[in-house]
Structure 1
Amino acid sequence: MNDREVADYLLANPDFFVEHAELLATIKLGNPHGKAAVSLQERQMEMLREKNKHLELRLSELLRYGHENDTIAGKLVHWAGHVLAERDPHALPRLIAEQLRQEFDVPQAALRLWDVADAYAQASFAKHTSEEVRLFASSLEVPYCGANTGFEAAQWLDGGEGAENAPQSVAIIALRRRMSTEERDPSGEAFGLFVLGSPDPRRFHDGMATDFLRKVGTLASAGLTRLLPH
């Protein structure tokens, strides 16, 4: 019999070791950790311990992720509450950026809007933006996370280009008239950009999940549409 036939026989006859219990103590197996040979029972127990350890580590990891997600969700609700409570449309863009900085400990945050209603056309958040920025916003299917490669939008941040605390990594979120919940469905016209930055090049990276940033974009867009012509 070859190895496969032996394995198939044992699988087809689960009572084999019940009827031949003495074999469990006499069969010796090589220990993968380099120790002396162990019995089949001992090897089974060792495998179970290793499996349990792996499951415990996985459970601990899931609990940590769950706790982190709960914390983020709580901060997001708190931030959204400030956005909803703000009655002054002029103050809303600054509040959105500042409150996000405070809630999530983001070093730098800024936003710009275009094609706003005439009442807000002279506001600082409605300063001129180039056609390149607008085209970039329209093409941004998901938030960009990664190195600051000279984005014009990064110059809106407190640490502008050339400054000591110039942003080395950024997250850029398109603000749209109608935000979709689908991951790659920019279903509304872009009317602004929300940019987050950090002097730490690892703070925002291209491996980051963007679900949270999409939610920020959806909520910020919904609040800021009151500044657009109706």
Structure 2
Amino acid sequence: MSDIDRDLEKLSAHEVAAWLRRHPRFLEQFTDLALSLVVPREEGKTTSLAHYQLEVLRDKNRELNRRLHELFHNAQENERLTVRTHQLTLALMRQRSAADTLRAMVATLGEDFQGDAVSVVLHAPVAGLEDAPWLQVIARDAAVLEPFRTFFAEGEPLCGRLQPEKTALLFGERQDEVQSTALLPLGIRGMLAVGSHDPNRFYPGMGTLFLRLMSEALLAALERFDGE
């Protein structure tokens, strides 16, 4: 009997396990042992250590492939959003008035970003948009905007299912159609909301980088007409 065998006989099961963890290459010296060891499976059967290791590797490979496909899908989606956001920015900068800029923004959100309902709330009127069905002009200190005070103070995009009073203010008669909303801050000018029939389209915790970029692009485009 070798010294190793004599030492192992004196060890408890936990000590053997701890020793093997410290010596992961131990079975290279005893290949017959590696082939004869059995490992319990969840269904109660046993399998050889080599087969068990193979199954573990296959499981890990499947998980890695799943994550790779997920990353690839996310990369494709981010690329599409990047292109659309860039095109939106160019379209906004080509407009010749504040009214046309807002019309272009609303149209793009509905067509290219699949927004089912778009609503804009401004604190001051914009010439040429007196009859726009998607626009409301509400003073900054109006009581009806009280539910949005935290949103205005934080100045960050907000996604998810809004409280009923917020949805009612933004979408009026269409409030029952809107199941989730992306709310974009427009600085001291107001806010813009994109509503979706899909309750999972906009959700708390989703990335808001592109929403922030769109909001900043709109503000930059509108600043060109300040004072006119």
Tell me which amino acid in the other structure corresponds to 2:183: I
Provide the identity percentage. 27
CA RMSD of aligned residues (A): 2.8
Q: What CA distance in whole angstroms lies between the structure 1 residues aligned with 2:111 and 2:89?
A: 13
Q: What CA distance in whole angstroms lies between the structure 2 residues aligned with 1:210 and 1:150?
A: 22
CA contact (8 A) 1:154 1:197 kept: no
CA contact (8 A) 1:146 1:169 kept: yes
Q: Paired residues, what number?
A: 210
CA shift in 2, pair 1:11/1:81, >3 Å: same
Task: Report how far residue 32 of structure 1 moved.
Answer: 2.6
2:15 equivalent to 1:5: yes
CA shift in 2, pair 1:57/1:226, >3 Å: same
Higher-Rg member (1/2): 2
Which of 10, 14, 38 is the matching residue for 2:47?
38
Q: What CA distance in whole angstroms lies between the structure 2 residues aligned with 1:141 and 1:72?
A: 22
Task: Report how far residue 144 of structure 1 moved.
Answer: 2.1
1:135-174 → structure 2 map (5 Å cutoff): 136=149, 138-151=152-165, 155=169, 157=171, 160-161=172-173, 163=174, 166-174=177-185
- Of 203-212 and 47-56, deviating more is 203-212
Counterpart in the other structure of 2:193: 195
CA contact (8 A) 1:145 1:204 kept: yes
CA shift in 2, pair 1:122/1:47, >3 Å: closer
Q: For residues 111-139 of structure 1, give each alpha carbon's deviation from its aligned partner in whole angstroms, at most 9, with x where no partner exists.
A: 233347xxx45743785304243873632
Counterpart in the other structure of 2:5: none
TM-score normalised by L of structure 2 = 0.77
Counterpart in the other structure of 1:112: 121
Is there any run of 5+ residues in structure 1 with no aligned partner, and where?
A: 177-189
Task: Report how far residue 213 of structure 1 moved.
Answer: 1.4
Task: Report how far residue 166 of structure 1 moved.
Answer: 4.2
CA shift in 2, pair 1:15/1:123, >3 Å: closer
2:103 equivalent to 1:94: yes
